[in-house]
């Protein structure tokens, strides 16, 4: 009679579920708003050949990918939900990692990668939870140069936009000892500029 110690039970359960559902793995990743992030998913293309793969949002269903965002036939991308979703690796070599461009907080959640391996319950399934966090904006630094009688040159550094694009900057003018007045022009500047000569 063979006794199986308690420490061996999890291994037996993992093997059992792997046989029933295909091998499933999971992990998590944290990214910052506005950055590009890559969710890893690979398979052994030398052993299996080029295989179809897909990524979706949410748990992986019995077939395919739920809320599919990108799909490959093993060689090229056949469909994708948005230009933000990319396969940047060697698809034919088994790298079907998903790259998401300029992530937003709304991109947070579970993602699932499925590689269709021939045979019953052989598919490789990989779950990954993405958490996108906002960062505290760096302070706006403003400096004045070439202060003259009727003009002043204002320069500033770009700031992190928190994933919400800045379209314009605004400059309010006032006398040194005075208060901001509506009679003094408010100047709106397109985001591409980093310097402005102000006439007052």
Residue 4: per-residue pLDDT: 32
At which residue do the structure tokens 């933000």 appear?
84
Pairing of strands 124-133, 24-32: parallel
Work out the pLDDT band at 108, boundaries 50, 70, 90.
Answer: very high
Neighbours of 57 (CB within 10 A): 16
The model's pTM? 0.58
Instruction: Decide which of 199 and 132 is more confident.
Output: 132
Q: What is the pLDDT of residues 32-61, one digit of tens each?
A: 888 999 999 999 999 899 999 999 999 999
Catalogue all structural domains in the chain, each as residue range(s) with its CATH number: 22-133 (2.60.40.10), 142-199 (no CATH)
DSSP-derived letter for residue 8 is: G
Q: 120 pLDDT band (50/70/90 cuts)?
A: confident
pLDDT in tens, 95-107: 999 999 999 999 9
CB 3 within 8 A of CB 74: no
What value does the mean pLDDT take over residues 2-8? 34
- Residues 78-98, mean pLDDT to the nearest whole number: 94
pLDDT at 189 over 60: no
With CA atoms as reference, report the closest residue to 95 among 63, 124, 135, 133. 124
Nearest to 190 by CA among 161, 160, 170, 164: 170
pLDDT band at 15 (very low <50, low <70, confident <90, very high): very low
Q: Tell me which of 115 and 7 has the higher pLDDT.
A: 115
């Amino acid at each position: 009679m063979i006794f199986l110690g308690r420490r061996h039970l999890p291994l037996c359960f993992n093997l059992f579920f792997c046989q029933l559902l295909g091998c499933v793995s999971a992990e998590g990743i944290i990214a910052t708003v506005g950055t590009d992030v890559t969710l890893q998913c690979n398979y052994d293309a030398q052993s299996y050949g080029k295989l179809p793969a897909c990524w979706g949002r949410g748990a992986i269903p019995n077939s395919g990918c739920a809320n599919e965002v990108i799909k490959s036939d093993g060689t090229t991308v056949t469909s994708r939900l948005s230009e933000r979703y990319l396969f940047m690796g060697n698809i034919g070599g088994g790298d079907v990692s998903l790259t998401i461009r300029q992530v937003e907080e709304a991109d947070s959640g579970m993602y699932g990668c499925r590689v269709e391996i021939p045979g019953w319950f052989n598919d490789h399934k990989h779950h990954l939870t993405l958490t996108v966090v906002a960062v505290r904006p760096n302070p706006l630094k403003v400096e004045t140069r070439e202060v003259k009688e009727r003009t002043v040159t204002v320069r500033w550094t770009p700031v992190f936009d928190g994933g919400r694009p800045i379209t314009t900057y605004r400059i309010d003018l006032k006398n040194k000892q005075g208060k901001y007045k509506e009679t003094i022009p408010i100047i709106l500047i397109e985001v591409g500029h980093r310097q402005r000569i102000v006439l007052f």
